[in-house]
Structure 1
Amino acid sequence: MGKHLTPFELGKIVAYKECGLSIAEIARRMSRCKATISYALQRIESRGTHERKVGSGRPKKTTNREDRRIVRTARRLRFSSANAIRRAAAPQISTTTLIRRLRAKGIRSRIAAKKVLIKKDQMKKRVKWAKEHKDWSPEMWSKVLFSDESTFCTDWRGHQRVWREKNDRYAPENIMEVPHNSKKVSVWGCFCANGVGELYRIEGELTSAQYENEVIKKCMPESADTLFMNTDWIFQQDNAPVHKSTSTTRYLSRHFNVIEWPAMSPDLNPIENIWAYLKRNVAQKNPKDENELFQAIKEEWALLSIRYLQDLVQSMPNRCKQVIKQKGWPTKY
């Protein structure tokens, strides 16, 4: 249904008509259909006014007070169905009417975001860390070597939608098959504003010994030497158990400058955005086995542009601000 004509628009219609313009020409100039213009002129001629009759149109089934109760209930029962909200807030109306009331207030049913659960003490530490680093300049962040591990699968598809009829959700042609023999490859990678480092393929399950001997003592320093050219830099890693063994922690403290990182904070690490980007691109190559999968990962890793990497690094000040704004809760990143 189109919007009602405003008093200003009605005034323009009357003025155009008095100037001798046809209904078709007025409709063209007003970007309205001819029927709307014709009806407005008829209403003015028959009643001497362009105002709608008081009470015209179908009356609402809910009062303003009931509308407010519907909104409050929806916010209280955020993860409930529309029917459950209707029963709790306004059982006398239909579910369709309830949905219309919520949509009028900008509230719609959407796919919920999935984030890690953060405890209160972890939230406080995230805010404290963000406040300590929110004033770091992009130049300071460009000295950080961000790192992390990720696992890729041959059947990664992300969120999948399907065009179907209302009651055909479980029709065979509408079901996305979940493979039972998915191939997986885990990798460790690092990057900074200058480029990406060496991509290390993890054999089996990553252990603290493998992490220290293969990553910390080989891949990481070799990557840093190439990316920073003997200038000062800072190493970043999260608080995964394999990263925090006594031996690894001691070695890092003796040989490298390591930034303290808050627990449960993947949204603060921009390399997570890279992993998500790579998984989408790798999936399009449709690798069949582990070797093809790793080859596809390496190819996409090498194609990451410097501009993209710099944008991620430059997002760090805003990530800190978002953590502070969210009082430690997960952010949009």
Structure 2
Amino acid sequence: QNGRHLSRDLRMQVHTLRSIGWTHKEIANKLKCSVSQVQYTLTGPVTPKKRKGRPGKLSEDRVDELVLFVTGSREGRRMTYLELSMYFSEWDVSDSAIRRALTKRGFRRRVALKKCPISEQNRRKRLEWAQMHVHWTEEQWGRVLWTDETWVTPGRHRKTWVTRRPGEELDPTCLVDRIQRMRGWMFWGCFYGGKLGQGIFWEKDWGKITSASYTSHVTPVIEGMMRLVWEEHGEVPIFQQDNAPSHTADATLADLAQRGRDFLGEMGIVPMDWPPFSPDLNPIETLWNIMKDKIGRVLPENQNVSYDRLRQVVKEAWESITEEDLWGLIRTMRQRCLDVIAANGMHTKW
């Protein structure tokens, strides 16, 4: 069967199977048609009224209404062309007409990006933070000690593009292996200006990242890095970390406050105010992409490599980050703030 219309006999079978409790997918498999054809068939009677003449075209006013509906909610954005034609059934137009109308207005079906959810309260916090820091100089940003964790694995961490012809999608040379339980490692790192800090492998016997484990293994490194900057440059770094529970726990903040008092004063180490759900404002997130690209070039496939081999490759990738790489990231901070302001505190491209 071509298109979305089934023969009368198949339509009768669809309605019969559905009436006895079969799912859409089970019916489609049984009758060798698509799930969308089953769904469409069940929206009307077994013998639909015959259409008079050619399917109608959408007027500009209706296209305006269609665009307003699609762009007005997540539900509208996610509906297929067939679902839209069924929703606006009184227009008596096909899914192809819906597709052509939206295509002329510049719309295409694309994969949705995954971003952190931003509430109204967090939107305001992000916007206020960007407005407060947008005029910082490169020198000021260079005084920040940037920190973060990431999960590292072998293989490519970006989408894999291949050059192929239609029908070659299942050719072995066009496939990426899917590993059910890919071996990976949590890695913590930091940098200050053009200086790369220590990277820490989160050892398996340390357990989950909690306030207790974070203060046992990470905050001593933070203190050491800040002390090194103080001794070498005679200035106090601005300590940055995100709002992960292990970072903001009272025990963690108390531990940081006890550290470095001999050169930082009574307050000890105090993290800078950081807006929630804002990885796009942290340049170290882009640093992870650089590092993982390097890992992917050495271990291009999702191989089940040993932890020792993965540790070695990750360490080499981290230590290959250059001073130029780090200053390049720092120079993006003004644009990151500008983009958050332009987005009124919502998501950005970063």
- TM (norm. structure 1) is 0.72
CA drift at 1:165: 4.1
Which residue does the alignment assign to 2:23? Answer: none
Contact between 1:147 and 1:271, CA under 8 Å: does it hold in 2?
yes
The structure with more radius of gyration: 1
Name the CA distance, whole Å, in 2 between partners of 1:283 and 1:62.
Answer: 48
Name the CA distance, whole Å, in 1 between partners of 2:66 and 2:170.
Answer: 32
Which residue does the alignment assign to 1:232? Answer: 236
Which residue does the alignment assign to 1:87? Answer: 86
Aligned length in residues: 272
In the alignment, structure 1 residue 249 sits paired with structure 2 residue 262: no
Name the CA distance, whole Å, in 2 between partners of 1:308 and 1:139.
Answer: 16
Contact between 1:156 and 1:283, CA under 8 Å: does it hold in 2?
yes
Which residue does the alignment assign to 2:115? Answer: 115
Q: Which amino acid aligns with 2:295?
A: V
With 297-306 and 170-179 compared, the bigger mean Cα shift is at: 170-179
CA drift at 1:244: 2.0
Name the CA distance, whole Å, in 2 between partners of 1:310 and 1:173.
Answer: 39
Q: 3-state DSSP class of the match of 1:148?
A: strand
Please provide the CA RMSD for this pair: 2.7
Which of 277, 284, 294 aligns to 2:297? It is 284
Q: Which amino acid aligns with 1:199?
A: G
Contact between 2:229 and 2:236, CA under 8 Å: does it hold in 1?
no
CA drift at 1:304: 1.7
Which of 55, 59, 72 aligns to 1:63? It is 59
Contact between 2:291 and 2:321, CA under 8 Å: does it hold in 1?
no
CA drift at 1:175: 6.2
Q: Which runs of 5+ in 2 are unaligned?
A: 1-55, 258-266
Name the CA distance, whole Å, in 2 between partners of 1:294 and 1:262.
Answer: 32
CA drift at 1:272: 0.9
Contact between 1:144 and 1:235, CA under 8 Å: does it hold in 2?
yes
Name the CA distance, whole Å, in 1 between partners of 2:177 and 2:122.
Answer: 38
CA displacement, residues 125-169 of structure 1 (integer Å, 9 cap, x when unaligned): 222222222222221111001001111123454334564647x87
User: What is the identity percentage for the equivalent residue pairs of Structure 1 and Structure 2?
Assistant: 28
CA drift at 1:319: 1.8
Name the CA distance, whole Å, in 1 between partners of 2:156 and 2:306.
Answer: 13
Which residue does the alignment assign to 1:53? Answer: none
Q: Which amino acid aligns with 2:107?
A: I
Which residue does the alignment assign to 2:224? Answer: 222
CA drift at 1:68: 2.0
Q: 1:247 to 1:70 in 2, by over 3 A?
A: closer
CA displacement, residues 272-307 of structure 1 (integer Å, 9 cap, x when unaligned): 111122223212212612121121112111222222
Q: Which runs of 5+ in 1 are unaligned?
A: 1-59
